[in-house]
Structure formats: C-alpha cells, structure tokens
Amino acid sequence: MSYAPISIEEKFTKFTEHFRPKVIAQMNDVQFKLVRVEGDFVWHSHADTDETFLILDGELAIDFRDGRVTLGPGEMFVVPKGKEHKPFAASEVRLMLIEPAGTKNTGDAGGAMTAPDDVWI
Amino acid sequence: MSYAPISIEEKFTKFTEHFRPKVIAQMNDVQFKLVRVEGDFVWHSHADTDETFLILDGELAIDFRDGRVTLGPGEMFVVPKGKEHKPFAASEVRLMLIEPAGTKNTGDAGGAMTAPDDVWI
C-alpha cells in the first residue's frame, strides 16, 4: 500500500485568504492548521488550551498585555492558556497553528474575525 | 516584558547524536521534539497515541507492514496509534516529532535504542 505525505507547500496552494485556518492533519485530539496572516488580529485568549505558532514564512508579532514576541521563519512559540494575545503581521506571514480540535481562532473574544474551526483542505 | 521565540535552528546546534529526541516546547500535554535520524530504527508501535513526523531536512522513509511513506522537507505524516512502523534514513534527516509527553521513541518494542523521553534543550 502506498501512503501519501502531507505537503505543507501543496496545501498552501489551496487557499489565499487571511486569518482563516485550514486543517491539514490531526494527531489524537490535536489539529495542525495552516494560516495566512496579514494585518492586525483581535485581542483574545483561550481559556482551556495553550496554542502553538510555528512560522513558515514572514515575520509575526504577537502582542501580550505585558510584552511582545517577534517570530521569524523556523521559530515557534506556545501561548499559554488564558493569556491574552494579539497577532500582527506587517506583510503576509504563513504559519502553522497546532492546537486542540475545536479551538476557535478568536478564542473567547468572538466577533467578525471568527472563522470556522474545522475546515480541512 | 520581552518574550523569546524558540528557534529550531538554534536548538539543533545543541546536539549531534542520532535517534535521541530533545524536547524544545510543550503545549498542554503535547511535546515538540527535535531528532536527528540516520540509518535504521527499530520496528515499534505506540499503543496509546498517534505520532507526528514533520521533516525539516533530508528524506525519511517510514516502513509499515503493508507499505511505506517517503517524506521530504516540509512534509509531514501522522502514524496512527497501534500501527507498526520503522523509520529509515539513508543520510541524516532532521525532523520534529510531535506527540504526548511520556511517549517513548521505541514505543512498546523497548531495547537498546530506547532514549530518555523528557530531555529538554
């Protein structure tokens, strides 16, 4: 039987919109989501889970109420559960989010930028 | 307050040995581990968890009893729990394993290639 790898580059050809995570794989209850980010996201937190950012291209800033982390390609950061954060990208960033299935992109903030959380590509 | 990104490249400068996973981050109960692989690993499975392979450099083959998947840079694969597998790399591969804390590299097979499972760098 032949098994197929999941290609991150190939998956990114399937969408162009910003702030709309797409699921490409799942391990137990944890999903791997690709996202394109450009501009300001909203302040939010996730009460029940940490959230992992792994940067593939570009530079992402994540603001916290008490500081900031700036991430480039090949860098990652785990935002602890309950910690308010706001991602920002001056130009387009491609990244992978790793977080439990069911995690909403806007967490407990809701609002217009909330995306469906289980869209597979 | 200044927060520090986790740099995958920088972490790889901290070790050179093969088949000895190093933890660089944790999200809830899931750990992110860097590994250098070269040669043949042992047949094994993990009864309680899926296991995620994300290739950074090189080409990794994972043999199954009923087939094989070959992974290059930027490709990933989730080995389902309970599925026997044997990684192989003709020349050195650098990869990230994503799996629950406590997961042994040799799973239920044990033996001489079993590495400590919670070594942080």
Q: What is the pLDDT of residues A6-65, one digit of tens each?
A: 999 999 999 999 999 999 999 999 999 999 999 999 999 999 999 999 999 999 999 999
Nearest chain A alpha carbon to B73? A7
Q: Of all helices (H) and strands (E), which one includes residue B51? A: strand B51-57
State yes or no: pLDDT of B1 exceeds 80.
no
Q: Of all helices (H) and strands (E), which one includes residue A92? A: strand A85-100
Q: Which candidate in A1, A12, A23, A27 is best for mutational testing of the B interface (most B CBs within 10 A)? A: A27
**ipTM for this model:** 0.96
- Least CB-CB distance to A5: which of B1, B67, B76? B76
Contacts of B52 in chain A (CB under 8 A): 25, 27, 32
Whole-angstrom distance, CA of residue A12 vs CA of residue A98 = 16
Distance, C-alpha B121 to centroid of its chain: 15
Whole-angstrom distance, CA of residue B74 vs CA of residue A64 = 30
B29 lies within 8 A of chain A by CB: no
Domains of chain B by range and CATH? 17-100 (2.60.120.10)
The β-bridge partners of B23 are: B33, B120
Query: Which residue reads 């069911």 in tokens?
Result: A102
Q: Which of residues 100-119 of B touch A (CB under 8 A)?
A: 100
Whole-angstrom distance, CA of residue B92 vs CA of residue B25 = 23
Q: In the predicted model, what is the mean pLDDT of residues B71-89?
A: 98
Query: Which residue reads 């797409």 in tokens?
Result: A22
Q: pLDDT band at A2, cuts 50/70/90? A: confident
Residue A115, token pair as written in the block: 């995306």
Q: Do B5 and A64 touch (CB under 8 A)?
A: no
* Contact partners, residue B1, CB within 8 Å, separation at least 6: A64, A66, A67
State yes or no: pLDDT of A1 exceeds 90.
no
Residue A117, token pair as written in the block: 């959380």
Q: What is the pLDDT of residues B15-26, one digit of tens each?
A: 999 999 999 999
Q: Do A50 and B28 touch (CB under 8 A)?
A: yes
**How many Å lie between the alpha carbon of B102 and the closest alpha carbon of chain A?**
15
